[in-house]
Chain A
Amino acid sequence: MALNHIRAPRVRLRWGELLSPRRALLALSALAIAAAIALPLLLTLWRGITAEFSLWATLWQVRLLPLLGNSLALAGAVTLGSLVLGVLLAWLIERTDLPGRRIFGPLLVATLVIPCYLIAIWHISFWGPRGLLERSLETLLGASVSVPTIYGFLGAWLILMIATYPYVYTLARAALRSLDPQMEEAARSLGARKLKIFFKVTLPLLAPALAAGGLLSAVYVLADYGVVAALRYETFTVAIYKQLAGRYDQAPAAVLSTVLIALTVVLLVLQQRLWGRGRHYYRASQKPLPVVRLSFWSRWAALGLVGLVLFLGLILPVGVSLYWWLEGMVRPNPTAVLWGTSLGDLWRYAGNSLFSAATAATLALVLAWPIAYRAVRYDQHSLTRLAQAGQALPGVLIALALALVLHRFVPSLYFTVWALIFAYVIRFFSHALQATEAGLARVPVRLEEAARSLGHSTVGVWRRVTLPLVAPSLGAGWTLIFLNALRELPATLLLRPPGFDTLPVRLWIAAGEGFYAQAAAPALLLILLSLPMLFLLRVGDRPEVRHGD
């Protein structure tokens, strides 16, 4: 039970590594890449911090306070909701005899396949004014019925809760599974009753994982653009977007961003702390925990809850998009030509999406290599942190940061596909680093040395030893970045060159104007292309897959 790992102090070569030409090249390229990745964000922070005091003062009164209130209220409510929902569902799946839990278990994570702005859009088209529900009720009852509005706080809360509970759910399931049954037995042998055991043993043991999952939800809400924009609830991301897209005033946007970055960083640091501490506690247990038998009524209530969650997160979005798609096929709208939703156009958008996402994934892995190699082989992790700056930051923010840099230094790149691709790379660079480091960790130097002692050249060793061992991790990392870039919305909206529409952009604009039939085809195609995500979720059970915001 030696849980405290003591690390032997390691001699760090800092300047010494510059003495060997190979090491120097590696160090310098790693430094250059990390700097390029982190620069836009650092510059945004710099612009925000050095903005005139009067600007801060005005913004504080007029914008910052209400925005802070809105963002924090939503983040808090969503976190609380997804904690309750995630833990409850995890408990039902892991520790009760709920019928069909083997099927529901993975299905409850499958909602991650649908980008969350899509969930929002289809919910609006269903519940919203003149939406499917109102119209069908009208046909049924013959009188007009008004459904309570979905716009605003409540709608945003509901959709974001549906979008983020899987993070808590996966972490809580893993934590429940790794709980040592002996803990509860020990408590019982000491005379403790069920309630005492739950509050004094089980809950404290789960707490680190739950806190980590909850904070992940909070960070997610702060970074979200699509859902809050679609549901017209103003948070930081929406405000920054408006500043950038409408007025194109960079200084206030930078100030807002600085506050948002600070908020996110605080949550991220907190999350990493808690997660690190949490892992301390867990030990693989040999025996599964005893299963709780549900009574007749609680079984139906539980099935109802699972059904409701699956309906809201999976069945309704897919069903409604299918409905609109069929509607568009059966009754072609004359304006459809304007919207360019012919098959050829659709392929063009898909092509744009695939090209930019694939290029970004490849580029990210190439750029991550020197940093990861240096981190794993020479135990120098300083640049890893720097290069992960884009992690979990809102896409809006990265777009703003890139706009700042390109505008000033390389205006020729501004509004090109490459600016967009670079935004993806920054945004998802931490996935590339994690995948490459994980892969390299599987190839100890000793293996390469052994291969060389058996008479293979450097290139031969690479081809026959290193690459085959690293490849699976790189493949998983590539897929993860590709899928996340494929569904990226806000940065794409802000940075895409004119005429370069991706699937998310197309469906977003069409839905924004109320042309749901025209949004349906790109939406379905996007969901189809995202299906490999199911496999990643199954393999990793990792909460790294983003909903796209």
Chain B
Amino acid sequence: METEFLELREVRLRLAEFELGPLSLAVKKGELVAILGPSGSGKTTLLRLIAGFERPDAGSIAIDGRIVADATRWVEPEDRGVGMVFQDYALFPHLTAGENVAFGVASSKAVVKARVAELLKLVGLDGLAQRYPHELSGGEQQRVALARSLAANPKVLLLDEPFSNLDADLRPKMRAELKLLLQRLHCTTIFVTHDQEEAFELADRIAVLNAGGLEQIDTPERLYREPATRFVAEFIGHADFLKGRVRGGCLETALGCFSSSEPLPEGTLVDVMVRPEEVELEALLPSDGRGEGLIVARRYRSGMQLFTVRLASGEVVRSLQPAGAHFPLASRVRVRVKTQTPLIFPR
């Protein structure tokens, strides 16, 4: 079980618009991996490389112990056993839902029929086999596309932005359904998304992609707690950075001194990461003087308030506070950071 089921080694691909890689990635059998990144970061290209619609310029791709692409070997997409669910589903418009699902099943008629019925039932579409794609809703189309890919018994299932074409109010429901289904099938799955919430909810591990390169692949928890790069830190959740300088074994910033987890030479300039939930605010009495910060904006976010505070240094940090907290706009506050050893990034 704990072997690398899908492995990309030093894969590189140069396209007209941008360059992907060199990039290495390993996925275990039955694992659900999300590829997360901003648009144009090469997420879909990575999927297409695995599916065999693009040929890498260098490096190798192996699926289930078999090299499917390297400098000398090449396995066509139809022989890879990789199922792909396209972003807009790519259902065959001239075939019914049932015929779409049956497309990849090569067997006797009775077997095909049984398999189609089984899969449509699995995705909760029994009874809609006779419908044409344009007679189905977006969610139903997506489930047909999923059933069609699963029907061919793929070794690896690839999903390209599976929820982006669905209405916003439909997404959480479809997400939960897909998660249950994939857990039940124990199918190795890679899906592409630009939506963190989606990646965090579904994936065992998340690979963060930026400008054609892999920044980090890790569990959601660790991505948030220990981002490997500044890009990941900024991309996953909210993060603010304070300028810091090492002086006398202490990291000096606008919000006071922090200790560094590793010894740094005197005078080193660094960026200190601060998450909004680590930032504490305290209202100032008129007698308390100027304090450290000025409240410049307030925004509600799922039952909490996110305050933006401008510091005397001109830097800006955000603070997450319960809904009941009261800090009027343009009021002065005292700002404290809870952690003693924050993450630091070289400047």
Interface set of A (CB-CB < 8 Å, partner B) = 1-4, 180, 182-183, 185-193, 200-201, 204-205, 207, 280-281
A-chain residues with CB within 8 Å of residue B52 when the two chains form the complex:
188-189
A-chain residues with CB within 8 Å of residue B76 when the two chains form the complex:
188
Judged by DSSP, the binding face of A is helix
Task: A188-B76, A189-B52, A190-B78 given; name 13 further pairs at CB < 8 Å.
Answer: A3-B133, A185-B86, A186-B86, A186-B92, A186-B148, A190-B152, A191-B78, A191-B104, A192-B103, A204-B92, A205-B92, A280-B93, A281-B93
Contact B135 A1 (CB under 8 A): no
A sample of 10 inter-chain contacts (CB < 8 A) reads A3-B93, A4-B135, A183-B92, A185-B51, A189-B80, A190-B104, A190-B148, A191-B81, A200-B103, A281-B94
The distance in angstroms between the C-alpha atoms of A521 and B154, with both chains bound, is: 70
Q: Closest chain B residue to A185 by CB distance?
A: B53
Contact B134 A280 (CB under 8 A): yes
The distance in angstroms between the C-alpha atoms of A107 and B231, with both chains bound, is: 54
Contact B92 A201 (CB under 8 A): yes
Q: Closest chain B residue to A193 by CB distance?
A: B78
Partner of B93, one of A190, A191, A205: A205
A-chain residues with CB within 8 Å of residue B103 when the two chains form the complex:
187, 190, 192, 200
Q: Looking at the assembled complex, report how far the CB atom of B87 sits from the nearest CB atom of chain A, in whole angstroms.
A: 9
Partner of B89, one of A1, A3, A185, A189: A1
Contact B149 A1 (CB under 8 A): no
* Chain B contacts with A in 247-284, Cβ cutoff 8 A: none
Contact B104 A1 (CB under 8 A): no
B90 sits at the interface (CB 8 A) = yes
Partner of B94, one of A180, A192, A205: A205
Given known contacts A204-B94, A281-B94, is B135 in contact with A189 (CB within 8 Å)? Answer: no
The distance in angstroms between the C-alpha atoms of A299 and B53, with both chains bound, is: 26
Given known contacts A4-B135, A182-B86, is B93 in contact with A188 (CB within 8 Å)? Answer: no
Interface residues on chain B, number (Cβ under 8 Å): 32
B22 sits at the interface (CB 8 A) = no
The distance in angstroms between the C-alpha atoms of A2 and B135, with both chains bound, is: 9
A-chain residues with CB within 8 Å of residue B93 when the two chains form the complex:
3, 205, 280-281
5 nearest CB pairs, A to B: A190-B104, A3-B134, A182-B90, A186-B90, A188-B77
Among B90, B134, B141, max chain A CB count under 10 A is at B90
B-chain residues with CB within 8 Å of residue A190 when the two chains form the complex:
78, 83, 103-104, 148-149, 152
The distance in angstroms between the C-alpha atoms of A165 and B312, with both chains bound, is: 77
Contact B134 A183 (CB under 8 A): no
Contact A1 B148 (CB under 8 A): no
Q: Closest chain A residue to B88 by CB distance?
A: A1
B106 sits at the interface (CB 8 A) = yes
Give B73-103 as 1s and 0s: 1 = Cβ < 8 Å from A's Cβ atoms.
Answer: 0001111111110101111111000000001
B-chain residues with CB within 8 Å of residue A204 when the two chains form the complex:
92, 94
Q: Looking at the assembled complex, report how far the CB atom of B4 sits from the nearest CB atom of chain A, in whole angstroms.
A: 22
Q: Looking at the assembled complex, report how far the CB atom of B115 sits from the nearest CB atom of chain A, in whole angstroms.
A: 13
Q: Looking at the assembled complex, report how far the CB atom of A293 sits from the nearest CB atom of chain B, in whole angstroms.
A: 15
The distance in angstroms between the C-alpha atoms of A190 and B119, with both chains bound, is: 15
The distance in angstroms between the C-alpha atoms of A372 and B90, with both chains bound, is: 39
Contact B106 A189 (CB under 8 A): no
Among B52, B93, B134, B141, max chain A CB count under 10 A is at B93
The distance in angstroms between the C-alpha atoms of A207 and B90, with both chains bound, is: 18
A-chain residues with CB within 8 Å of residue B313 when the two chains form the complex:
none
B-chain residues with CB within 8 Å of residue A1 when the two chains form the complex:
88-89, 133-134, 138, 141, 165
Q: Looking at the assembled complex, report how far the CB atom of B66 sits from the nearest CB atom of chain A, in whole angstroms.
A: 16
Give B104-118 as 1s and 0s: 1 = Cβ < 8 Å from A's Cβ atoms.
Answer: 101000000000000
A-chain residues with CB within 8 Å of residue B152 when the two chains form the complex:
190-191
Q: Looking at the assembled complex, report how far the CB atom of B56 sits from the nearest CB atom of chain A, in whole angstroms.
A: 17
Among A2, A186, A201, A280, max chain B CB count under 10 A is at A186
B-chain residues with CB within 8 Å of residue A4 when the two chains form the complex:
134-135
The distance in angstroms between the C-alpha atoms of A188 and B82, with both chains bound, is: 10
Q: Looking at the assembled complex, report how far the CB atom of B182 sits from the nearest CB atom of chain A, in whole angstroms.
A: 18
Given known contacts A190-B104, A190-B152, is B77 in contact with A185 (CB within 8 Å)? Answer: yes
The distance in angstroms between the C-alpha atoms of A3 and B131, with both chains bound, is: 14
Q: Closest chain A residue to B160 by CB distance?
A: A182
Contact A186 B84 (CB under 8 A): yes
Contact A189 B88 (CB under 8 A): no
Partner of B90, one of A183, A200, A280: A183
Q: Looking at the assembled complex, report how far the CB atom of A211 sits from the nearest CB atom of chain B, in whole angstroms.
A: 13
Partner of B51, one of A3, A189, A207, A280: A189
Q: Looking at the assembled complex, report how far the CB atom of A199 sits from the nearest CB atom of chain B, in whole angstroms.
A: 12
Q: Closest chain B residue to A200 by CB distance?
A: B103
B-chain residues with CB within 8 Å of residue A3 when the two chains form the complex:
93, 133-134
Contact A189 B92 (CB under 8 A): no
Given known contacts A1-B89, A182-B88, A201-B92, is B134 in contact with A189 (CB within 8 Å)? Answer: no
Q: Looking at the assembled complex, report how far the CB atom of A118 sits from the nearest CB atom of chain B, in whole angstroms.
A: 40
* Chain B contacts with A in 225-258, Cβ cutoff 8 A: none
Q: Closest chain B residue to A281 by CB distance?
A: B93
The distance in angstroms between the C-alpha atoms of A188 and B86, with both chains bound, is: 13
* Chain B contacts with A in 10-56, Cβ cutoff 8 A: 51-53
Q: Closest chain A residue to B94 by CB distance?
A: A204
B-chain residues with CB within 8 Å of residue A185 when the two chains form the complex:
51, 53, 77, 84, 86, 90
Contact A189 B82 (CB under 8 A): yes
B-chain residues with CB within 8 Å of residue A187 when the two chains form the complex:
92, 103
The distance in angstroms between the C-alpha atoms of A186 and B79, with both chains bound, is: 13
The distance in angstroms between the C-alpha atoms of A1 and B51, with both chains bound, is: 24
A-chain residues with CB within 8 Å of residue B80 when the two chains form the complex:
189
A-chain residues with CB within 8 Å of residue B79 when the two chains form the complex:
191
Given known contacts A1-B88, A183-B90, is B141 in contact with A189 (CB within 8 Å)? Answer: no
The distance in angstroms between the C-alpha atoms of A4 and B138, with both chains bound, is: 12
B-chain residues with CB within 8 Å of residue A281 when the two chains form the complex:
93-94
Contact A189 B84 (CB under 8 A): yes
Q: Closest chain B residue to A201 by CB distance?
A: B92
Among A2, A191, A204, max chain B CB count under 10 A is at A191
The distance in angstroms between the C-alpha atoms of A180 and B104, with both chains bound, is: 19
Given known contacts A1-B138, A183-B92, is B83 in contact with A189 (CB within 8 Å)? Answer: yes
Q: Closest chain A residue to B87 by CB distance?
A: A182
The distance in angstroms between the C-alpha atoms of A180 and B83, with both chains bound, is: 18
The distance in angstroms between the C-alpha atoms of A207 and B94, with both chains bound, is: 10
Q: Closest chain B residue to A186 by CB distance?
A: B90
The distance in angstroms between the C-alpha atoms of A281 and B141, with both chains bound, is: 15
B-chain residues with CB within 8 Å of residue A182 when the two chains form the complex:
86, 88, 90
